[in-house]
Structure 1
């Protein structure tokens, strides 16, 4: 991609978006990996592909040589979307383009690769070696990919994540964590009419647990505890013997994560004949801005201004990303480097066309100039 134009970049974005790739569709996700691999091979990258497991697609890593050797930059993107095939399609209306995953996060993937293609086409190279890592299962917490992400991150100087920007273009310098817990209560069945007193309601016990856990929510602290899924009982005239629930919580720091864990394990037993079991589910650790992240942000914001973008600004985001894993390890992580737009996880997911050229130009300069002695690296 020698010239960065809106039409050319929009074509690049479209090529990613029209390959529909819900997380549970390994074949669709792998077709995205095929596409990414073809683009990266075209600029001389070596390709490593780790076969998917547990029903998920493959992990793809493309390695691009830099001007200097040694630990480089890890570029993180995910190939999966929350949208099932055929729900809605790609379209352009006015100054926006719409499509499944276009904002979260195929638009960012397309821009990052296009920036590398631009450097290659104009005879330039990244300052540091770059590893482009494409993940198949981020939208469900990266269960098959987390270990690989963390191992890769520890071999790099910094991680750059191409999740969409927030609030009109802000970069993400920290993320709250996500904690999940699975709860199960087991009681005693009985006829709800003739022998009600002999029953022990698992649903009633779960109701006490739900009230106790949701009471932990503290909006000023950005600590949100939500019981979003409950299943219990088998018939209206039967005292329910079993109930299950999933607790999903936004935990801004490790302190809130520990507070929730303690509360889960200390849930009081209201009915001595009902047993409660709790199991930790998939989660993402929080990561906070560090001086190294601040230095990365300052440098990227300077390049954004040079590219003609408005003041980028910084934010701490509530939604999770694979940047949670790298940031929590202490690897300097700058997230939210992707597109400007909105409507994530809806049928009106969109990007703003005006962001494509300046954001991609900024990324090309970031890859070309970020090296030893720059931004604290």
Structure 2
């Protein structure tokens, strides 16, 4: 397993570099072909390479991604290593160890009939090209197992918040800031009012649907020169929601924002990206996994709800029961201390193999 993990980690696969993702897809396909005993189908959609294996009529979907957030050259400063039972390297935790565990788990099964394995190449950047493929497969299956890394202590992820992204643009009117500022309409000042209005949107959504929604202003820009009243200001907004009802409520309220200054105009674009993975979508599968862990004499499984999203949001949104976080045990996704506890890899592979057999 460590040899296979080294092979994947040392083939860098930064999401924005489609050539690197294509090289990674070839390595993933070859490794899967060897372990699964079948030839992969590589799907290139808008330049992004995804890898799929299908065995008979799909009933269970195993889902992962091979792209990472680490720019090409990260291996020079974060080299592959295994020391004292800890593996390190760019993408080792998120989520190349999960792919290795999945391949080895499936290789241990007497038959792969009824399974579909999909490894996408654009999860880290929103899955724009793979989303239709994911959702179509999920609608055909009775369960999806997502090989994303586990939460703290190996906890499975049984709920994920949904994600929406919005861009708010304020259109004002430029004027000389020293000679005649009163003739301008200051888009930056108007945008400040809109940031305050987002707090009121959050409060309204909480009153309607309950707690847990976050509406976070992130990127801001305004103006063209230091002595000019800004004619335009732009704001990016990150929204995380626990339920579909909350996602709908945010969308409804944010589109009713009104300018506070005469002459200003507001434009709102964007909307929901990933639906929430609500706890109900994972409940039965987690119970099944916990029972299997107990029967195998493994440590008791724990579960957690997280704010980050994954492709499991899409499968749950498509109506397929979904269990996430079945991948590596470790820490540091997207961070300098990214690492995997190697002793847990065969343990998690064994759990997955039994879970697949129980469900299909």
Q: What is the TM-score normalised by the length of structure 2?
A: 0.92
Deviation, 1:217, is 4.5
Deviation of 1:115 after TM superposition, in Å, equals 1.4
What's the counterpart of residue 267 of structure 2? 277
Aligned counterpart for 1:148 among listed residues 133, 144, 154: 133
How far does residue 46 in structure 1 lie from its aligned partner after superposition? Answer: 4.0
SS state at 1:180 partner = strand
Report Cα offsets for 1:103-134 as digits up to 9, x if no partner: 11111111101212233xxxx223x4211111
State how far apart, in whole Å, the 1-side matches of 2:129 and 2:86 are: 34
Shift of 1:347: 1.5
1:205-284 alignment to 2 at 5 Å? 205-217=190-202, 221-281=211-271, 283-284=273-274
CA drift at 1:303: 2.5
Deviations 1:184-237 (A, max 9, x none): 111111111012111111111111111111454579822111111011111111
Using the TM superposition, give the Cα deviation of residue 306 of structure 1 relative to its aligned residue in structure 2, in angstroms.
Answer: 4.0
Q: 1:215 to 1:348 in 2, by over 3 A?
A: farther
Distance 1:306 1:351, change over 3 A: farther
Partners of 1:234 and 1:304 in 2: CA distance: 60
Output the aligned Cα RMSD: 1.9
CA distance in 1, matches of 2:95, 2:239: 23
Counterpart of 2:142?
157
The equivalent residue for 1:125 is 111
Confirm or deny: 8 A CA contact 1:180 1:281 kept in the other structure.
Answer: yes
Q: Is the 8 A contact 1:78 1:105 kept in 2?
A: yes
Number of the residue aligned with 2:42: 49
Moved more, 361-370 or 237-246: 361-370
- Counterparts of 1:25-104 in structure 2 under 5 Å? 25-42=17-34, 43-53=36-46, 56-65=47-56, 70-87=57-74, 88-104=78-94
The answer to whether the 8 Å contact 1:222/1:252 transfers is yes
Q: Tell me the equivalent position of 1:327.
A: 316
250 and 308 in structure 1: CA distance in 2 versus 1, 3 angstrom threshold: same
Distance 2:187 2:176 in 1: 14
Q: CA deviation at 1:247?
A: 0.6
Tell me: CA distance 1:32–1:281, structure 2 relative to 1, closer, same or farther (3 Å). Answer: farther
Cα distance in 2, alignment partners of residues 31 and 352 from structure 1:
26
Query: What is the Cα deviation at residue 328 of structure 1?
Result: 1.3
Paired with 2:71 and 2:295, the residues of 1 have a C-alpha distance of 39
The structure 1 residue matched to 2:304, chosen from 308, 315, 325, is 315
Segments of 5+ residues of structure 2 without an aligned counterpart are: none
Query: 8 Å contact 1:308–1:358 — kept in the other structure?
Result: no
Deviation, structure 1 residue 282? 5.8
Q: CA deviation at 1:319?
A: 0.6
- Please say if residues 108 and 164 of structure 1, whose CA atoms lie closer than 8 Å, have aligned partners that are also in contact: yes
Aligned to 2:3: 11
- Does residue 13 of structure 2 align to residue 21 of structure 1? yes
The number of equivalent residue pairs is 351
Which has the larger helix fraction? 2
| Residues 1:173 and 2:173 are matched in the alignment | no
Contact 2:201 2:254 in 1 (8 A): no
Structure 1: where are the runs of 5+ without partners? 1-8, 372-377
- What's the CA shift for 1:262? 2.3
5 Å matches for 1:287-306? 287-290=277-280, 293-306=282-295
Native 8 Å contact 1:222 1:251 kept in 2? yes
Tell me how far 1:258 sits from its aligned partner: 2.3
In the other structure, the counterpart of 2:335 is: 346
1:4 maps to what in 2?
none
